[in-house]
């Protein structure tokens, strides 16, 4: 793949992921070497800077993520604070229910149940403080679970107090979906 196409693919992958991705994983997905990925990321950083784009490449150790330009923080905060103070959308409620009844779950497991990309919804729930994510060494990505704020908001002490928790947390059909997503 030529350099222009690789930059385009990387931009798409970083955008849709919504989370940090290991450079080695990007290399595997793009069927290219880590050096080519790093070179393309440097070119993307340069493009963003020279073209005064609203996106930035954020690197930490061996992972990379797409973020917003700090100079646009006021505008981004206006959008985000509006989203946080508004009611939860149907999609957000659906995702929150999955995390509450099935958590801790990975993003891939949430997406296997919902059937659609859930990065942005999970990010919104994180910003609202309704879910938490934790990194684990034995899986790729993060595990999402309900937060203390979620429990306080509902006035309950644990997820076990949710209506029909025992039935819904052990649903066989959902177990099959989760098992299938683990194979991906």
CATH classification of the domain holding 20: 1.10.10.10
| Confidence class for position 183, pLDDT limits 50, 70, 90 | low
Q: What SS3 state is found at 69?
A: coil
Q: Say yes or no: 98 and 175 in one domain.
A: yes
Contact predicate 128/147, CB 8 Å: no
Question: What pLDDT score does 182 carry?
Answer: 55
Number of domains composing the chain: 2
Whether pTM > 0.85 for this model: the answer is: no
Q: Quick one: pLDDT at residue 170?
A: 63
Do 44 and 14 fall within a single domain? yes
Judge if 95 and 167 occupy the same domain: yes
Of residues 115 and 5, more confidently modeled: 5
Asked if the structure places residue 80 within a domain, the reply is no
54-99 per-position pLDDT tens digit: 888 888 778 888 888 888 888 877 776 655 556 788 888 889 989 9
**In this structure, are 67 and 19 located in the same domain?**
yes
Q: Select from 71, 103, 124 the last residue of a domain.
A: 71
| 108 has a pLDDT exceeding 90 | no
């Amino acid at each position: 793949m030529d350099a222009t196409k690789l930059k385009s693919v990387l931009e798409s992958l970083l955008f849709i992921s919504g989370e940090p991705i290991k450079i080695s994983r990007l290399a595997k997905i793009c069927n290219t070497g880590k050096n080519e990925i790093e070179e393309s990321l440097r070119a993307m950083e340069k493009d963003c800077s020279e073209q005064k784009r609203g996106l930035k490449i954020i690197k930490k150790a061996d992972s990379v993520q797409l973020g917003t330009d700090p100079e646009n923080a006021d505008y981004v905060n206006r959008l985000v604070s509006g989203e946080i103070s508004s009611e939860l959308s149907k999609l957000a409620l659906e995702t929150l229910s999955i995390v509450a009844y099935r958590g801790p779950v990975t993003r891939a497991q949430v997406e296997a149940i919902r059937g659609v990309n859930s990065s942005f919804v999970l990010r919104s729930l994180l910003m609202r403080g309704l879910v938490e994510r934790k990194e684990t060494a034995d899986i790729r990505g993060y595990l999402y679970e309900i937060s203390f704020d979620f429990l306080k908001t509902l006035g309950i002490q644990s997820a076990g107090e949710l209506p029909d928790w025992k039935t819904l947390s052990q649903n066989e059909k959902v177990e099959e979906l989760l098992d299938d997503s683990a194979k991906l």
